[in-house]
């Protein structure tokens, strides 16, 4: 079977690698540099399993910038283009994936088109009216940046928003490439599948926000946050997972998905959904005030990326703290090996870690790292469990 994948971000590339173990896969992207890297079997993104598979596995995979070449003859097309949140319209920007739909409509109307991009609740049903010639199916992804292929190889669940043979085809492609034989598969309508994605991520954001607010309380009252969380987590209904305080939830998914779900609640009474979005801003305000009270002259920002093993720092939580303290006139310097530019929004990048440590009065680190052990007295973090 020929399968096309539109978009080579962490979602699209992980699906392309997964499916190319058993099928002919063509990845389509508009960026020639990324296409060239894929064709040289070099991953354009930081993901250990993707890098390993592309280097060491036999994959029937190629990439192209030619949409006609990529889509023509494909039986299935996965669409994994970006849908960034547009704060002006208070909605996901779906313009890129709609351009992809237009290309597919031009070159291949027979393919099953599976949307893996995150979209608003009700989007697929509405888009079927706009593109009636396409067989559109929505299937949410539940992938972590830097662990996208791992999560496709070991999926927590496979959800397909279509109860039909086409839906079964999508589920089989995702299931046959995984290493787990007992993965739960759920077939729903497209709108319910879209809701599953947004409510899942919003619950994760809620959990992050809850333990962050617990930490804010403990800091204010000079209590031991770790002891409190350990005691709370001993309740099996709560558990010890996803409980590590941070600078806030960030990254590509949680901030935009929580805002989109809030927008979907426009005519529905709610308190919790709105509060989840607001709590993230409150947490950053609180921590920024904690740092400002230290009266540092120069604050070092250790890594902009959201997590170890990722090269993405879009909307990382540490940036929110950075912006707030800079607004108070505090100079910031940045240590981020992934950053190609010499500065980040006016803050100088320091390439030498030793120089960075010496120059910083306080070092902000969302997660603890062994490289900072020798300057632990300078480090401001709320990370309590990474090294346990």
Catalytic residue IDs: 253
Could you give the CA distance from residue 77 to residue 14 in angstroms, rounded to a whole number?
Answer: 14
Q: In this structure, how many other beta carbons lie within 10 angstroms of the beta carbon of residue 76?
A: 22
Residue 227 CB-half CA count within 13 A: 5
Instruction: Please say whether the dihedral angle defined by the alpha carbons of residues 61, 67, 69 and 74, taken in this order, is positive or negative.
Output: positive
Could you give the CA distance from residue 175 to residue 153 in angstroms, rounded to a whole number?
Answer: 9
Strands of the sheet containing 362-364, edge to edge, are: 343-344, 347-349, 331-335, 298-302, 362-364, 379-380
Cβ-contact 139, 174 below 8 angstroms: yes
Find, among 132, 196, 133, the residue nearest to 161 by Cα: 196
Find, among 31, 76, 195, the residue nearest to 125 by Cα: 195
Find, among 52, 65, 83, 63, the residue nearest to 3 by Cα: 63
Find, among 224, 203, 205, the residue nearest to 317 by Cα: 205
């Amino acid at each position: 079977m020929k399968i096309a994948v539109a978009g080579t971000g962490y979602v699209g590339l992980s699906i392309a690698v997964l499916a190319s173990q058993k099928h002919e896969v063509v990845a389509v992207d508009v960026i020639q540099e990324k296409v060239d890297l894929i064709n040289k079997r070099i991953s354009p993104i930081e993901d250990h399993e993707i890098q390993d598979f592309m280097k060491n596995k036999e994959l029937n995979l190629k990439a192209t910038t030619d949409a006609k070449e990529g889509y023509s003859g494909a039986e299935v097309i996965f669409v994994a283009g970006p849908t960034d949140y547009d704060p002006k319209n208070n909605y996901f920007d779906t313009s890129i994936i709609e351009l992809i739909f237009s290309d597919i409509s031009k070159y291949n109307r027979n393919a099953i088109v599976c949307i893996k991009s995150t979209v608003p609740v009700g989007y697929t049903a509405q888009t079927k009216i706009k593109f009636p010639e396409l067989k559109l199916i929505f299937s949410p992804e539940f992938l972590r940046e830097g662990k996208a292929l791992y999560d496709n190889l070991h999926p927590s669940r496979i959800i397909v928003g279509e109860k039909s043979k086409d839906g079964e085809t999508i589920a089989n492609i995702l299931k046959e490439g995984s290493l787990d034989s007992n993965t739960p598969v759920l077939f729903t309508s497209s709108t319910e599948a879209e809701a599953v994605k947004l409510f899942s991520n919003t619950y994760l954001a809620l959990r992050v926000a809850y333990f962050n607010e617990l930490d804010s309380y403990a800091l204010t009252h000079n209590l031991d946050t770790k002891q409190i969380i350990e005691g709370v987590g001993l309740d099996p209904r709560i558990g010890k997972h996803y409980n590590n305080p941070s600078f806030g939830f960030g990254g590509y998914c949680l901030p935009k998905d929580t805002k989109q779900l809030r927008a979907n609640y426009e005519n529905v009474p709610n308190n919790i959904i709105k509060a989840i979005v607001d709590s993230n801003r409150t947490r950053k305000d609180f921590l920024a005030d904690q740092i400002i009270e230290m009266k540092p002259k120069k604050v070092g920002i250790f890594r902009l990326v959201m997590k170890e093993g990722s090269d993405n720092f879009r909307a990382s939580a540490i940036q929110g703290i950075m912006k707030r303290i800079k607004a108070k006139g505090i100079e910031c310097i940045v240590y981020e090996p992934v950053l190609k530019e010499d500065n980040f929004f006016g803050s100088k990048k320091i390439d030498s870690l030793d120089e960075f440590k010496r120059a910083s009065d306080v070092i902000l680190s969302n997660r603890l790292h062994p490289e900072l052990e020798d300057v632990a007295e300078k480090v401001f973090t709320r990370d309590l469990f990474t090294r346990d």
